[in-house]
C-alpha cells in the first residue's frame, strides 16, 4: 500500500506551480515590509521628511536586488515546470526544497540591508542565491534522469536549461569574489548580472549569457 501511495503522490505539476506562485508573491511582499515611513511626530518640515527618506535609501539596493532575484528564479522554475510531462513524489519534494530556499530570501535581504558594508552579510546573501541555483539545477537533473520531461525538452532544450543555471552561478561567483575585496563592488556586479538576466535577452550582445 505504501509503495502504491508513493507512486500516486506528487504527480500533478499544476499544484507545484500554484504553490510556487503563492510563495514567490509572499516573499516579494515581505521584501517591501522593510521600508517604514517616518514617524509623523518626528517630522516637522519638508527638509526633515526628505532627510528621513534619504536615511532609508540604502535599503533600496538590496530590495531591487532581491526583487530581480525572485523574478529570475520564478521564471526559471516556471520554465522547468512547463517542460514537464508529469511529476512524481521525489520531484515535488525537490521543488519544495527550492521553494524553501526562496522563503529565506527576505531574511538574507534584511541582513544585507542592515549590514550593507559587511562581508558576512554579503556572503550569506550570495549563499542564498547559490542554493537557489543548485536546488533548481538538481530538480531539472532529476526530472531529466527520471524521464519526466516532455519529448521536445530532451537534447538542446535540456542543455540550454542547465547551461543557463551554470552560467548564471559562475557570474555570481565572480561577483562574490569582487565582494571579498569591496562589498559595494560585489553588490553592484551582482545587480548588473541580475539586470542582464532580466533585460539581456532583449539585447543581442547579451542574449547568450
The reported pLDDT for the residue numbered 1 is 46
How far is the C-alpha of 30 from the C-alpha of 76, rounded, in Å? Answer: 21
Q: What is the pTM of this model?
A: 0.85
| Cell 542592515 -> residue | 114
Number of structural domains in the chain = 1
Cα torsion 98, 114, 34, 122: sign: negative
**Helix-helix angle 119-145:183-199, to 10 degrees:** 30
Regions of the chain with pLDDT less than 70: 1-11, 53, 200-209
| CA-based nearest residue to 94, from 20, 172, 199 | 20
Q: What is the pLDDT of residues 19-36, one digit of tens each?
A: 999 999 999 999 888 777
**Containing structural domain, residue 21:** 2-206
Residues in the chain: 209
pLDDT of residue 101: 97
- The pLDDT assigned to 95 comes to 96
Amino acid at each position: 500500500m505504501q509503495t502504491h501511495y508513493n507512486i500516486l503522490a506528487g504527480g500533478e505539476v499544476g499544484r507545484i506551480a500554484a504553490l510556487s506562485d503563492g510563495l514567490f508573491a509572499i516573499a516579494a511582499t515581505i521584501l517591501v515590509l522593510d521600508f517604514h515611513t517616518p514617524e509623523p511626530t518626528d517630522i516637522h518640515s519638508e527638509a526633515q521628511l526628505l532627510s528621513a527618506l534619504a536615511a532609508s535609501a540604502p535599503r533600496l539596493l538590496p530590495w531591487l536586488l532581491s526583487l530581480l532575484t525572485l523574478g529570475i528564479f520564478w521564471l526559471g522554475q516556471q520554465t522547468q515546470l512547463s517542460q514537464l510531462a508529469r511529476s512524481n513524489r521525489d520531484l515535488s519534494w525537490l521543488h519544495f526544497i527550492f521553494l524553501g530556499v526562496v522563503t529565506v530570501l527576505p531574511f538574507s535581504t534584511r541582513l544585507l540591508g542592515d549590514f550593507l558594508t559587511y562581508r558576512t552579510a554579503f556572503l550569506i546573501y550570495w549563499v542564498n542565491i547559490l542554493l537557489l541555483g543548485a536546488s533548481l539545477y538538481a530538480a531539472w537533473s532529476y526530472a531529466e534522469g527520471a524521464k519526466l520531461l516532455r519529448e521536445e525538452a530532451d537534447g538542446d532544450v535540456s542543455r540550454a536549461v542547465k547551461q543557463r543555471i551554470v552560467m548564471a552561478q559562475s557570474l555570481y561567483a565572480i561577483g562574490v569574489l569582487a565582494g571579498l575585496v569591496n562589498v559595494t563592488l560585489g553588490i553592484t556586479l551582482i545587480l548588473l548580472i541580475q539586470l542582464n538576466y532580466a533585460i539581456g535577452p532583449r539585447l543581442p550582445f547579451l542574449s547568450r549569457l
